[in-house]
Copies of this chain bind each other. A is one copy, B any other.
Amino acid sequence: VSFLDNRRYGPALEQTKAGAVIVHPDMAARVPTDTIAIVTLQPYAAWARVAALFHPLPPSTPGIHPSAIVDPTAEIHAEAQVGPYCVIEARASIGARCVLGAFVSIGKGVSIGADCRIAAHVSLSHAIIGERVVIYVGGRIGQEGFGFASTKSGFVSVPQLGRVLIEDDVEIGANTTIDRGSAGDTVVGRGTRIDNLVQIAHNVRIGRCCVIVAQAGIAGSTTIEDFVQVGGQAAIAGHLTVGQGTKIGAQAGVISDVAAGQFLVGSPAQPRRDFFRQVALLKRMMIRRLDKGKGSLLPD
């Protein structure tokens, strides 16, 4: 079973030797006669469901590995799996059917809901985690953020006193960092997906079903409303609001509030159409100058 969700690969479809292919109705006619066409308006979502049927998650093996160090006041659900060399501090709680990989460190009072998967080498502190949350290897959740005041005798650290609240169904990528709030909390809303190596600073509030692509960074106290998409390596400055459903392109730099439903790119970020108009205009001016024989303004 295979699938096609990108018109770019249309020619490959005609050569497929797959037993069945999940395709959009527009592409159904191009499926070879020896291949079964499974036709749906959402081929990628259908593939997700079919693949999950053929490749279910490995079942958990409840129990605490004998090498794990668990504080007596921590509450580990009997159906949870705690991997080798985990360290779980006082008053932490781990919900039913959670699976913790090796070397996970869980700080004092951290609460993890049911059915979470916490991969190897993750650290969690000062955090409340919902249900069905997935945190990939090396994720860092709940450490102190970048907070200090400048004085004549140097920087003075500002105590970071808030938590990280991760709502249900969130996924957080490998080596991503999410700092605890300074006074309030840092929040990641239900269903949001965060990729690898992302930085979420203290007091950031991310809404529901957002998508934050790899290496993006969101500075302190910024609010990202529901359904926002942030491209890879994009940066959003602090103390801003990005409105619902807005898309921020890869490598964009957002330095002011953004209304709902925008699509911004560039650094500083501006509406996508304006950005590409300016790119095209500048290129045209360069070509015109060269055509007039005026030289390139660059040393040869």
Contact = CB atoms under 8 A, between A and B. Distances in A.
Q: So how many copies of this chain end up in the complex?
A: 3
Interface in A165-221: 169, 171, 173-175, 177, 179, 183, 191, 193, 195-197, 199, 201, 209, 211, 213-215, 217, 219
Interface residues of A, number: 98
Interface string A218-254: 0100000000000011010101000000000011010
Nearest to A51: B159
A235 B237 contact: no
Interface in A4-54: 6, 8, 42, 44-45, 47-49, 51-52, 54
A157 B133 CA distance: 12
Given A196-B179, A235-B232, A146 B121 contact: no
B149 A42 contact: yes
A281 to B, nearest CB: 6
A279 interface: yes
Contact of A157 (B159, B171, B209): B171
Interface stretch (A72-80, A92-100, A283-291): A283-291
A293 interface: no
B158 A47 contact: yes
Given A121-B103, A296-B273, A253 B253 contact: no
Given A48-B158, A52-B159, A280 B298 contact: yes
Interface of A: 2, 6, 8, 42, 44-45, 47-49, 51-52, 54-55, 67, 69, 83-85, 87, 101-103, 105, 119-121, 123, 136-138, 140, 143-144, 146, 148-151, 154-159, 161, 169, 171, 173-175, 177, 179, 183, 191, 193, 195-197, 199, 201, 209, 211, 213-215, 217, 219, 232-233, 235, 237, 239, 250-251, 253, 255, 266-268, 270, 273-274, 276-286, 289-290, 296-298
